[in-house]
Structure 1
Amino acid sequence: MTESASSAAPAGVSARSPGRWASLAWPLAGLLLLLAVWWLVTDVLRLYPPYVFPSPGAVWAEISYGLWGTGPQDGKLLISVLGSLRRVLTGYVLALLVGGGLGILMGIWAPLRATLGAYLTGIQSVPSIAFVPFAILFFGLNERAVLAVVILEALIPVALAVSGALLNVPPALRMAGRTLGASGPALTLRVLLPAALPSILGGLRTAWSFAWRALIGGELLIAGAGSLGEQLEVGRNTANVALVLATILIIGLIGGVFDALLRRLETRVRRDYGLEVSA
């Protein structure tokens, strides 16, 4: 029996391996197809002039110069990436703290949920770019205005996700917690929040995407040193479409990487809770 179990384990591992490779192969194939079509349109057919639609090589040159170039004007893209990451992570962490606190209060206090929760739902439908003029008038043309927009955009989905997850905790868990002597803050912190964690993580991933989009929109209108929004503005002012596309690709890559990390964390937690099974 021991030999059969040990021989079955490698078979299970090898059976899962093709699925994992296939999940990576399809996105890679799509990327290669997209690059091939891009190269065909720009370098082979030349349907557009380079100053309108640059080739993949021209965009890659901007990325390489901007990230690890050694010239006097090189490396600015890397500085912009670091500056934008610092801003968005600062705003995101603050939004998690404030939004998480508001979400807990809304989840346990019905009057606050009926008033503030309804307002937050309405504000969430407003595009983040609409808050930038108010932030400029209130804080001025500085980094605080950008952070304010990022915090506001990320705070709302966090608060709504936490309050909604607390309300969706099964009543049996509440009764079990009270039976074991937990009540008030102890019931919320030791029973309800751990039970609601898988649903909360989905809201945190949504909050990240909101924060990242709000940051780029704010930086684009509040141009400052060391930001990806500034690079987009520089590319527009100098008619450097390759720089604009390079910056857009980096913005999408960073956003996708962080989303994938949060998705991986969410999947692992859901598996630990028995809500998913590994393929």
Structure 2
Amino acid sequence: MSLVLDPPIRQEYEYATKPAALRPADAAPPLAQRAWQQAWLRKTAILIVLAVAWELIARWQANDLLLPGFLQTAQAFADGIVSGELPDRVRISLAVLLQGYLAGIAAAFALTALAASTRIGRDLLETLTSMFNPLPAIALLPLALLWFGLGKGSLIFVIVHAVLWPLALGAYAGFQSVPETLRMAGRNYGLSGLRLVVHILVPAALPSILSGLKIGWAFAWRTLIAAELVFGTTGGQGGLGWYIFQNRNELYTDKVFAGLAAVILIGLLVENVVFRPLETLTIRRWGMQR
């Protein structure tokens, strides 16, 4: 009896393989789904829906004095742009706003740096913010008119008040959230006082500072428009708020809505052209915020 040590050789076959079908997860999403993933497209769709609803409500009401339609407002806005009146009013308002906003930023960072480096500065910041932060900036306008008169100084004063306290609170909260290890690392390098604030606390607290800047900008912009609605002329020239107020007195409601649209568009422009790229270049790039 003989033993078979080697297994028999099996005949080889060649099978043609078919390409594997793509799974649903691997397949490219439809064009509509990919387009809907774009944030700008979704926001544009929302704006279109709001504009259509506005036009329908205005036509249903049929009273241009109370509510002009979207198309009528767009025509008034275009006429204001072509005539140069609306850009000139916007330029006047933005010039005053920029001066007050920068002055408020400087005052806020000086106060916050003092609070972050000394105990008496911390007590000073907490006391002042408790007193003045709940106080509306527009409530100080009568005093500003007495102190600075009918001019740019009064507007800048109320804008500084609107910017100073939210920005100081945001920056100080960001400084307080800086880990102690970073502070110790800065002290090990010989940093103290203002140098510690600039080189350690400010970069670490940047998300809170940027949030305070955005809130301060919003407060400053709406405070300026409200102040211009009250007296509005600086050096014989009125800004965007005065444009709205003047057209309301003359019952040009479409121009009033055009002025309000300019206020909204400037807010959207600053948010998407200034602050959003700043976030992308700093805190999102460094992984400090999603």
Structure 1 residue 228 corresponds to structure 2 residue 228: no
Once structures 1 and 2 are overlaid, which stretch shifts more, 166-175 or 255-264? 255-264
Offset from partner CA, 1:199-220 (integer Å, 9 cap, x none): 2111111110111011111111
- Match of residue 110, structure 1, among 115, 119, 126: 119
C-alpha distance in 2 between matches for 1:206 and 1:60: 29
Matched, 1:276 2:285: no
The answer as to 2:166 corresponding to 1:157 is yes
State the shift of 1:98 in Å: 1.5
TM-superposed deviation, 1:180 = 2.5
Q: Distance in 2 between matches of 1:19 and 1:32?
A: 16
- The percent identity for this pair of structures is 32
Give the 5 Å matches for 1:199-210: 199-210=208-219
Alignment partner of 1:176 out of 163, 174, 185? 185
Structure 1 residue corresponding to 2:105, chosen from 85, 96, 112: 96
In the alignment, does 2:270 pair up with 1:258?
A: yes
Does structure 1 conserve the Cα–Cα contact (< 8 Å) formed by 2:174 and 2:205? yes
Taking the aligned partners of 1:226 and 1:162, their CA distance within structure 2 comes to 34
CA pair 37-272 structure 1, distance change in 2 beyond 3 A: closer
Q: Is this contact kept in 1: 2:207–2:289, CA < 8 A?
A: no
User: Is it true that 1:39 corresponds to 2:55 in the alignment?
Assistant: yes
Q: Which has the larger radius of gyration?
A: 2
Shift of 1:19: 7.5
Tell me which residue corresponds to 1:7: none
Structure 1 Cα separation of the partners of residues 283 and 36 of structure 2: 19
Determine if contact 1:104/1:162 at 8 Å carries over to the other structure.
no
Cα distance in 2 for residues equivalent to 1:84 and 1:40: 33
TM-superposed deviation, 1:185: 2.9
**More divergent stretch after superposition (210-219 vs 19-28):** 19-28
CA shift for structure 1 position 276: 3.2
Task: Verify: 1:24 aligned to 2:40, yes or no.
Answer: yes
State the 1:136 CA deviation: 0.9
CA shift for structure 1 position 20: 8.0
Q: How far did 1:247 drift?
A: 0.5
Q: Which amino acid is 2:45 matched to?
A: A
TM-score scaled by length of structure 2: 0.82
Q: Does 1:60 align with 2:69?
A: no
2:134 corresponds to which residue?
125
Gaps of at least 5 residues in structure 1 are: 1-10, 69-73
TM-score normalised to structure 1 length = 0.85
Note the aligned Cα RMSD (angstroms): 2.2
Aligned-partner Cα distance in 2 for 1:122–1:267: 35
Structure 2 vs 1, CA of residues 115 and 98 (structure 1 numbering), >3 Å: closer, same or farther?
closer
What CA distance in whole angstroms lies between the structure 1 residues aligned with 2:194 and 2:99? Answer: 28
